[in-house]
Structure 1
Amino acid sequence: MTQLPGLLDTEALRKDFPILDRVVHDGRKLVYLDNAATSQTPRQVLDVLSEYYEQHNANVHRGVHVLAEEATALYEGARDKVAEFINAPSRDEVIFTKNASESLNLVANMLGWADEPYRVDADTEIVITEMEHHSNIVPWQLLAQRTGAKLKWFGLTDDGRLDLSDIDRVITEKTKIVSFVLVSNILGTHNPVEAIVRRAQEVGALVCIDASQAAPHMPLDVQSLQADFVAFTGHKMCGPTGIGVLWGRQELLEDLPPFLGGGEMIETVSMHSSTYAPAPHKFEAGTPPISQAIGLGAAIDYLSAIGMDKIHAHEQALTEYAVKRLTEVPDLRIIGPTTAEDRAAAISFTLGDIHPHDVGQVLDELGIAVRVGHHCARPVCLRYGIPATTRASFYLYSTPAEIDALVDGLEHVRNFFG
């Protein structure tokens, strides 16, 4: 068995995840390497969700009966846990959404409807990057189409890094918002936040960071990032689906208009006009994702007990090992950084002229679950002249043995297609 420095006790951790004991396809034990899409959920989170529905299920806020008060305390308690997890200055800066996509759409729509000095209009520019997930491209395209704003972006270098050589030309005095991914879901690249934020602040632009591939894997400190908004999602960090987070600076949340209208987000309503509740409720119209938020809180408890620094060290060791092993596979091309430096535990690759969907299907028959396609990052595939990639991604319960199984499986793929 391969031993690497910095690894967690995966033998103990894997006992917390029932699904990892699954047997698939002719008695083969599951090798789950699709964590960048969705991580697995430990018993500790499943138990909290079960207890909520069995003992506390009710709508939150306003209710005076015991179940409503219990549900409200659990839901708002989850907000406290998120605030502490990301080092938010105030719990009122934490907005619950259904996923990171909704969080990013919320920011785009707030800026489209805002008054000066935040409004995006035909005289302004929006800056993104070529490595973004579609969730951080399409909302800004829609905003640009509606307002007439100019959409600009940073390109990519041949080795999967952001090309910041012309940063002063891309981010200008007309730039209103710079929105970029902290860690790429397809390339694994960990982006240089400081340089981008510094330039944005020089011209007075707001900064939005998509931290969906960072929050599950490393300590996340929104104050250190110095961004104005940070978005992430729960289902990639041991939590349930249907829950996301948008963190925003308090003064911005106070000044910006709501996106969705309805119950809970109001202060007063008449037939002529309405006034709005303070943040975060101003941005949480209707019945929120109650159980999902509580589940995210339980996932944060689980991750925090292990230690995000230890999880990051574990994944760094695995990533270095995986890059080394994959580069030994004939005809394999890593799309993105080919070293473990400033990259995360998601590695996309092509294998000769074998289509990634064929690679994924043969691996699946061996019990190895990977992701194939453009990973909601089609501009990256266009940039590198490929139709799609195969992506293996690791998490706190992943092991060197699973990486070895992947490499052996790829050899089987090569033999299968001759």
Structure 2
Amino acid sequence: MKKNAEQARYTFPDQQGYYGRYGGAFIPEMLHRNVAELQAAYTEVLNDKKFQDELDLLLHDYAGRPTPLYHAQRLSEAFGTTIYLKREDLCHTGAHKINNTIGQILLAERLGKKRIIAETGAGQHGVATATVCALKGLKCIVYMGEKDIERQAPNVARMKMLGATVIPATSGSKTLKDATNEAIRDWINNPVDTHYIIGSVVGPHPYPDMVARFQSVISREVREQLLEKTGNELPTHVIACVGGGSNAAGAFYHFLEEAAVKLYAVEAAGCGIDSGKTAATSVLGRPGILHGSMSLLMQTEDGQVVEPHSISAGLDYPGIGPLHAHLFDTGRATALSATDAEALEAAFELARLEGIIPALESAHALAALKQLTWQPSDRVVICLSGRGDKDMQTYMDHMAQQSPK
């Protein structure tokens, strides 16, 4: 019974979409019908063989799954332990985001929706959404912060080439939070023909649960691959970066009930937790409602959202998903943070030791290696959530600053 209790406690929310005290669906009246419709369809497809078969086929033939679990030998030697990288960067479109967008586009088809909207920060979710819309011949509108459009120009070009319309969010910090605000406004104004593909484990129920389950293919494969490589399907540690938290939810999912597996979620400390330019929600956040759910949120005493900062466009979000808030609250997962400088250092270290250039988001997870103590017997899995093509300008600027004048 204990294992079932743990499963109910962590893996699944309750019927109202709560993980402990976090979650729920705090939405305008105009969206009640949409969310109820989505909840019903999502519950139906969980056990629908035709849906699951089509999902598995697309994940295999189109997204390129399973992704490798790579033994990073030189990185392992540097830290005196055994490190595996779950290579989500090798997915079609260059990140884990495609796992979720394939699942949601199949749901949208079932619901008869012809118009798809999405929000994006680093651009990877926008690209993944534009990709599946092109695949299915559906109209695609992506909201993206004006600041992120500037620093993620390659992904903006990819979205446009795939046929998406990219609309800048010009309010607030002009980043992910503001793009999400604009996408929700669009959904309110177009409730009949539009499906909103949320890219992370945030938003009103059922989104946090739904996105986590679509991303859980990551940890399902890790268990199978570790068993094949080592004879033991359980790692000792799983590490993933967290903004909203979709890649971490996917990497943790099939280990949530395994108490022996230590889970580490690495947030963006930006210029430092106490600098005023950070996105370290687990440290600075308090319970609050943002984008349709109750979770941890960086906010002022009077409840105004604090603008986040990170060198990584995908991690500068002022909240985290309700599942992660619950994991931190109960001690099931440990929150760490990495500064902009630490993430850059980790990215260049991986490039030079393993010949792999990671996304800046993923580099935050890699930075945790220097924050923990390792044993030779440890089996460490790091979710390499995306590749670094989109961040080359930032990397180039960093190299220019390091060059002798």
Structure whose residues are more often helix by fraction: 2
For Structure 1 versus Structure 2, the TM-score category normalised by the shorter chain is 0.3 to 0.5
- TM-score computed with the length of structure 2 as normaliser: 0.35
- TM-score computed with the length of structure 1 as normaliser: 0.34
Which structure is higher in RCO with an 8 Å CA cutoff and minimum separation 6?
1
